[in-house]
Structure 1
Amino acid sequence: MTAGSEERNNVMQQESDSQLSDDQPANPPTPKQIRRWQQYLANERAEAAVYRELARNREGEEKEILLAMAKAEERHEQYWRTMLGDDLGFPRAPSFSTRIMGFLAKRFGTVFTLAMMQTAESRSPYADDADATEQMTADEAIHAEVVRGLAARGREKMSGNFRAAVFGANDGLVSNFALVLGVMGAGGIDSNIILLTGISGMLAGALSMGAGEYISVKSQNELLEASHPHLATSTVVPQLDVDANELALVYRARGMSVAEAKEQADKVFAQIEQSKSVDAEMLAGANAAEDETLSSPWMVAASSFLCFGAGALLPVLPFFFDLPQMIAGVIATALVGIALMVTGAITGILSGKPPFLRAIRQLVVGMLAAGVTYALGMLFGVAVG
């Protein structure tokens, strides 16, 4: 018996002693087990490489965490190497999902990759495999939580404009596709009229989205500005009666306790004693609510207009090429279906859910909405005819 086989049998014997009621030696692995272990080995090696690739582009604490995760995957890799012994064989390719994560790590960075890693770690096959140790199963469960935390950091850093772009494009896709199909369903309508309807729907929807976002962001900014301390107040604070300490009432009105309000007011008066003035940041108070970043209403409006318009343009495109109406409709349906699946997969990845299932859900919901509109168009066409 070779050294590799002896080491593997020792490992399997230890697992057997801890999990079985008798002391029978472990049986030699079957070809099916060997193939499964080889696949586990390939996946663990690839996942460790993914974590190292992610760490290469990070700094500080996140880099240390990612490198520690890579070390953990290397321990699992070594376990399967030991179990395989002389049956190590030629290196296998990792699973398709693991290869996708490696591709994302090199091309798109942390957020998308961690979102997929979160799904992969939470669906580890070790829990249902008697050949994996209980510690490895626990490791994978903890890894899922670590990745969940890292992915949450990435989502917080990701600009909200990206999410708004995805959802805006999706709204344009579904609403204008439904409009186009509804007009087609009425029957007997020239393709040029359908094209004009689609363009009108695209512009109307995009303008409505842009105007709505402008009003919403502008109103939010005005609300935030109304809640911030007035800068002119800092010029009159030095004239306040220190003994009356009415400044404390300002901080109490902002939610501080009596003691906290008095402490903050004392700090302001102490600064006045030193510099004969007070800055706006000190006046606001350390415990006051953190200022929210004011967004540009014009930028948000333009982004919403373009994203909605881009999505709404897709179902109209085939009608620009003077194709037979039915063929144009089929092409539009195919284009919208692909786009819906892409946006669904992206939202699934960002939310840490299986992207394929989210893509199918997005496709089904979008097509159902369009199908209902088409049916209503047919009913309307029959009623009018």
Structure 2
Amino acid sequence: MNPPAAIPPEHHLVHRTGWLRAAVLGANDGIISVSSLLVGVAAAPSATHGGVLLAGSAALVGGALSMAAGEYVSVSSQSDTEHADLARERRELERAPEQETAELAAIYVSRGVDPAIARQVAEQMMAHDALAAHARDELGLSDDLAARPIQATLSSAAAFTAGAVGPVAIAALAPRSVVAIAVTGAALLLLALLGALGARLGGARPLPAIARVTFWGAIAMGVTGAIGHLLGTAV
């Protein structure tokens, strides 16, 4: 009898979700928030070119630091919860290993495995790495999806900066009279590229992603531009 053919490894993209979410969110926020601020300030008739650039530069720096701090705090909270759950599970495994084996077998049974086979699989998994088995099958934790605060922080700050640099550069290069229009057009183009890139990296269809980010970007810049024009005229 010929030995079974080797099964080629499958290529999945789920391991990218952690840093991809932070990177896409950071870049999207960088483009939209800084572009909206630039458009809002530039729409005010009394605003100077220097004032527009000062506002955009301050928004870039402040936004990047805000994104970094926010990601670190939120992902650290997620990491703390994961570690607390793992510590609790480790204590349960030491206190009642038989009960934990039965619990693991019940999980496999609920997924359609025959009870006898589920028990055998649970015992083998417990003997191999009990904590890893319960972390994956009971708690839903895995190395690919684990919270990584530092990675998320750096990804968000770098992505925000990368997204915000373009609109600020366009504002610096464009004549004062067309800053709002130039920044809006460049921002929509950058958002479309970001949507396509994020979809490609995540293995999703690009058109829905492009439509989402450009729609909300246009809304944000339109609203802030109208507010800047109205308030700037009033002042």
Q: With structure 2 as the length reference, what TM-score do the two structures score?
A: 0.71
1:183 & 1:291 partners in 2: Cα distance? 46
User: What's 1:338 paired with?
Assistant: 189
1:377 & 1:329 partners in 2: Cα distance? 11
User: What's 2:158 paired with?
Assistant: 306
What's the secondary structure of 2:43's corresponding residue? helix
Output aligned runs, 1:101-180, within 5 Å: 154-180=12-38
1:296 paired to 2:148: yes
Q: Which amino acid aligns with 1:383?
A: A
Q: Deviations over 1:83-119 (max 9, x none)?
A: xxxxxxxxxxxxxxxxxxxxxxxxxxxxxxxxxxxxx
Q: Deviations over 1:50-103 (max 9, x none)?
A: xxxxxxxxx9447xxxxxxxxxxxxxxxxxxxxxxxxxxxxxxxxxxxxxxxxx
Q: What is the CA-CA distance between 1:208 and the residue it aligns to? A: 1.5
1:212 paired to 2:70: yes
Q: Which amino acid aligns with 1:330?
A: I
Output aligned runs, 1:29-48, within 5 Å: none
User: What's 1:281 paired with?
Assistant: 129
Give RMSD over aligned pairs.
Answer: 3.8
Higher mean C-alpha deviation, range 208-217 or range 360-369? 360-369
1:169 & 1:285 partners in 2: Cα distance? 36
Q: What is the CA-CA distance between 1:282 and the residue it aligns to? A: 3.7
Q: What is the CA-CA distance between 1:176 and the residue it aligns to? A: 1.0
1:320 paired to 2:172: yes
Q: Deviations over 1:174-199 (max 9, x none)?
A: 11111111111222112111111111
1:224 paired to 2:72: no
Q: % of aligned pairs identical?
A: 29
Q: Deviations over 1:94-145 (max 9, x none)?
A: xxxxxxxxxxxxxxxxxxxxxxxxxxxxxxxxxxxxxxxxxxxxxxxxxxxx
Q: What is the CA-CA distance between 1:342 and the residue it aligns to? A: 1.0
Q: What is the CA-CA distance between 1:166 and the residue it aligns to? A: 2.6
What's the secondary structure of 1:196's corresponding residue? helix
Q: Which amino acid aligns with 2:64?
A: A
Q: Which amino acid aligns with 1:366?
A: G
Contact 2:43 2:180 in 1 (8 A): no
1:282 & 1:344 partners in 2: Cα distance? 41
Q: Which amino acid aligns with 2:129?
A: E
Q: Which amino acid aligns with 2:192?
A: M
Q: Which has the higher contact order (CA 8 A, sep 6+)?
A: 2
User: What's 2:109 paired with?
Assistant: none
Unaligned runs of 5+ in 2: 1-5, 107-114
Contact 1:169 1:308 in 2 (8 A): yes
Unaligned runs of 5+ in 1: 1-58, 63-149, 241-245, 269-277
1:379 paired to 2:230: yes
Q: What is the CA-CA distance between 1:295 and the residue it aligns to? A: 3.7
Return the index of the structure with the highest Cα Rg. 1
What's the secondary structure of 1:292's corresponding residue? coil
1:339 & 1:300 partners in 2: Cα distance? 22
Structure 1 341/187 Cα, relative in aligned 2: closer, same or farther at 3 Å? same
1:358 & 1:224 partners in 2: Cα distance? 30
1:299 & 1:186 partners in 2: Cα distance? 39
Q: What is the CA-CA distance between 1:251 and the residue it aligns to? A: 5.9
2:67 & 2:30 partners in 1: Cα distance? 10
User: What's 1:193 paired with?
Assistant: 51
Q: With structure 1 as the length reference, what TM-score do the two structures score?
A: 0.46
2:91 & 2:209 partners in 1: Cα distance? 52
